[in-house]
Amino acid sequence: MTKKVLWWGRFDADYSRNRILRQLFLSLDWEIVDFLPKIAALGDIEAYIRQIPAVDLVWVPCFRQRDLIAAHRWAKRTKTPLIFDPLISAYDKQICERKKFPKESDQAKKLLKWEQTLFQSADYVVADTEQHAAFYASTMHINSNKVFILPVGAEESLFTSQDYGLSNNPLRILFYGSYIALQGPEIIAQAIRLYRGPKVEWQLIGNGPLRKNIQDQLKGLGNVYFTDWLPYTDLPQWISRADICLGVFGATEKTQRVIPNKVYQAMSCARPVITSSSEVYPLLLRQNNESGIFFVPANDALALAEMVKKLAEQPDLVTQAQKNVTQSYQQYFSNEVIKQHLAFILQSVLL
């Protein structure tokens, strides 16, 4: 008999995390029922009025903290297990990353207490990495046994493996992002300034709070190109034109807890990645010198510049890395691997 999952909240169905998981639910023969309450806090009342049918699971997707309490009330009354997939913590983003308020402030404490209550209302919580899971357990005061790991991955129908072989002379290095501290765009700018090696081309895509500062730092350099945000569906084409993609290099705590979308997407497109070293990556992947991922210390512009120089001087390494990174992706981060994680979670919850 087909199982049913109720996706609860005014979520963005086109957001990559949601699209991937919804496709995987379908591939596991689950039926998806969407419920987008008009008022988050009163969602359970609306669900009763609309007579939402019985389901096997309630799923509150990423960024929908505000829907949790109402979903919890409905799930408890109907005796339906509730899973929350936050992807990020509001407290972590506003206080730890953006430093909107000091941690000791009443505003920060109020935000933390609010989010702790929300996290604790879920029967289970999904985290994209083990480090995020540990953060949720310790900061949100939830039992670690309630937290499951479910990597983010990439939309493989869009980010498809590209042909091997260097296609550019000079070597083309690609970064795309929102120019926030987590990504370390200022480290990339410093690395560009410090770089001393064969000619390379730097392509920087996106907009964000640090872009103007970065653009000012690199003003006058003829091998640096800035491009505004592109449609999401155009990203694979730009990745395919690059030889190497850049990950994240910031010094924030969150940098050490996440594998960003851009890393998954580049790997899925068979493009080598340079990114900061972190325990967030599987140990065997970090220990493998032929993984197709080139790790450098976080917040270290010189190390990034030296790594680019090494690859520019040895183009054969880049060609081989394009092959290796595909193998790494298939082993650790492919949709098939995520599907296995999801199947384990569903089985565990329903039992």
pLDDT digits (tens, 9 = 90+) for 185-197: 999 999 999 999 9
If asked whether residues 204 and 85 sit together in one domain, one would say no
Residue with tokens 């690609």: 174
Helix ranges (DSSP H) in 299-351: 301-313, 315-332, 335-350
User: Average pLDDT in the 68-87 region?
Assistant: 97
What is the domain-level CATH number for residue 341?
3.40.50.2000
Residue 291 lies in a domain: yes
Q: Is 156 helix (H, G, I), strand (E, B) or coil?
A: coil
Residue-number span of the structural domain to which 49 is assigned: 3-153+334-350
Residue 136 lies in a domain: yes
Cα 218 to Cα 252: distance, rounded to the nearest angstrom: 23
Residue with the bigger pLDDT between 98 and 139: it is: 139
Residue 162 lies in a domain: no
Q: Are 225 and 200 in contact (CB under 8 A)?
A: no
Is 60 exceeded by the pLDDT of residue 258? yes
If asked whether residues 308 and 286 sit together in one domain, one would say yes
If asked whether residues 115 and 263 sit together in one domain, one would say no
If residue 273 lies in a helix (H) or strand (E), which one and from where to where?
Answer: strand 273-276
Cα 214 to Cα 280: distance, rounded to the nearest angstrom: 27
Residue 132 lies in a domain: yes
| Opening angle at CA 308, ends 303 and 313, nearest 5 | 125
200-254: pLDDT as tens digits: 999 999 999 999 999 999 999 999 999 999 999 999 999 999 999 999 999 888 8
**151 token code pair:** 């990597």
If asked whether residues 315 and 341 sit together in one domain, one would say no
If asked whether residues 306 and 188 sit together in one domain, one would say yes
If asked whether residues 186 and 105 sit together in one domain, one would say no
Is 80 exceeded by the pLDDT of residue 57? yes
In 3D space, the residue among 255, 248, 288, 294 whose CA is nearest the CA of residue 271 turns out to be 294
| Buried b / exposed e along 78-110 (16+ C-beta atoms within 10 A) | eebbbbbbbbbbbbbebbbbeeeeeeeeeebee
If asked whether residues 59 and 93 sit together in one domain, one would say yes
145-164: pLDDT as tens digits: 999 999 999 999 999 987 75
Q: What's the confidence (pLDDT) of residue 102?
A: 93
If asked whether residues 29 and 139 sit together in one domain, one would say yes
Q: Is the pTM of this model over 0.75?
A: yes
Tell me the pLDDT band of 169, cut-offs 50, 70 and 90.
confident
290-326: pLDDT as tens digits: 999 999 999 999 999 999 999 999 999 999 999 999 9
User: Average pLDDT in the 118-127 region?
Assistant: 97
If asked whether residues 55 and 178 sit together in one domain, one would say no
If asked whether residues 64 and 31 sit together in one domain, one would say yes
